[in-house]
Amino acid sequence: MANLKYFYGSLLVTIAGLIAAFFVGHEHPLTAVYITAVLALLEISLSFDNAVINARVLEEMPMFWRKLFIYVGLPIAVFGMRLVFPILLVDMTTQLSFVQVFHLATSDPKAYHEALLVGMPMISAFGGAFLLKVFLGFFFDEDKDVHWVPFLEANRAMKKASGIPGISLLLALVGGMILIYYTQNWQVALAYLSGIVLHELLEVMGMLFNQQPSAGQTLVRSGLISFIYLEFLDASFSFDGVIGAFAISTNIFIIMIGLGIGAMFVRSLTIFLVEKKTLSAFPYLEHGAHYAIGFLACVMFIKMFHHVPEAITGTVGIGLIIIACLHSYIERRIKG
């Protein structure tokens, strides 16, 4: 029961959200409540690996910034990333103004969804590039001394490649060149490079704020920069959920409430992982989360050409984390 205290806030948000969905649903209130619950589960399944990565960053942050991540970061996640940000994306990728897009979203959700799909290639390129850089930074960390899949992570070629300065950036740029070649779209190119530049900018700013980063860490310890990093990471994870949510509901307020509930649970889970020291107890958990991030980045690129069901994305992400947890537990038991 003691562990449930970490989720009291999430449960309160869930109750409030379901009540709000009941009234937003108008003609079909019970259906709206059910759809909201489904959307919350969708968000949790797609962002479970996000919680693990968030926990690793939060471990390096002072308590003040941890609380800020919950109390300030949550409204940003719910209203910013799940409501305002998609409208901004449509605004930037169409000829419509922000007010026109908002009116379209509230009066004609189907047309709004179609407009959002128009910007999907740029969304996928930006978010995929950012997540790919997160994955490569971890995978090619030469100071990483724990290897989950040794024949991939600790072979001779990998050891040599990890010692090359800027190897993760180089590979990310090569991947971008391949993607741009097949899309032949300058907007995709700009979006992809923007995702890479943003990640690198956050790391550079982190180094300026923190002159002595801990060995093996590609994430910065500065509270402000880490907070910004987490918000952009959350944005990259939220793209998939926002787009996929339209397959379940076309009401943007129901989508915002459902995904917002899921985002709250992800944050509660993050705090639980940090304060219970779960990452140290399960050494492969972080590896599983980063493999899931790499998979999600690939899915975002594939979605530029073919549809990938959200059920597959969420299942693979959670599956990798469960396998990493089980492997960590078994190995800990064997070692005594």
Higher pLDDT, 90 or 321: 321
| Global pTM value | 0.75
Please give the angle made by the CA atoms of 74, 78 and 82, to the nearest 5 degrees: 145
- What mean pLDDT, rounded, does the chain reach? 80
pLDDT digits (tens, 9 = 90+) for 88-145: 777 776 777 888 888 888 888 778 878 777 777 888 888 888 889 888 888 888 777 7
**pLDDT for position 19:** 93
pLDDT at 195: 85
DSSP string, 216-263: T--S---HHHHHHHHHHHHHHHHHHHHHHHTTT---HHHHHHHHHHHH
CA 203 → CA 196, 222, 228, 253, 257, distances in Å? 11, 10, 11, 35, 32
Distance CA 47, CA 262 (A): 8
Place of tokens 């860490």: 217
Q: What is the DSSP letter of 119?
A: T
Parse the chain into domains and list their residue ranges: 2-335
What is the structure's pLDDT at 144?
78
Q: Per-residue pLDDT for 240 more than 50?
A: yes
**Pairwise pLDDT comparison (181 vs 227), residue with the higher score:** 181
Report pLDDT digits (tens) over 31-61. 888 888 888 887 887 777 778 777 877 777 7
